[in-house]
Amino acid sequence: MELIITHPEKIQELVDAAVSKAVSEVLPKVYRQMYKKPVYTNEEVCELLGVSKRHLQYLRDTEQISFIQNGRKILYRAEDLENFFNTNHITSEA
């Protein structure tokens, strides 16, 4: 076991950094999990993506977006939509 002696200011700085990281990274994920629906309909996904029903069908046909089909009913899992958003996210250099 290693003993490290440091100043209280350094300990407070480390605690502040850890709390800041937790709040900025973990809290948004928890918030999204609490308020998102488990599945979405065609209409809801069209609204989320800002696309037409035909374009959404194209995304399904080309296997760009995952979906669940039970008869004629098509649903989209929230996790699959998040994966679609993350896969198609383009980061700005500015």
User: Average pLDDT in the 81-89 region?
Assistant: 88
Lowest mean pLDDT among 2-11, 38-47, 73-82: 2-11
Residue pLDDT, tens place only, 15-62: 888 888 877 887 777 776 777 788 999 999 999 999 999 999 999 999
Q: pLDDT class for 73, splitting at 50, 70, 90?
A: very high
Contact between 75 and 45 (Cβ < 8 Å): no
Q: Which helix or strand (DSSP H or E) is residue 75 part of?
A: strand 73-77
74-85 b/e with 16+ CB inside 10 Å = b?
Answer: bbbeeebbeebe
**How many residues appear in the chain?**
94
User: Average pLDDT in the 73-78 region?
Assistant: 95
**CA neighbor of 78 nearest in space, from 33, 27, 43, 39:** 39
Q: What's phi and psi for 4, nearest 5 deg?
A: -120, 125
pTM of the model: 0.61
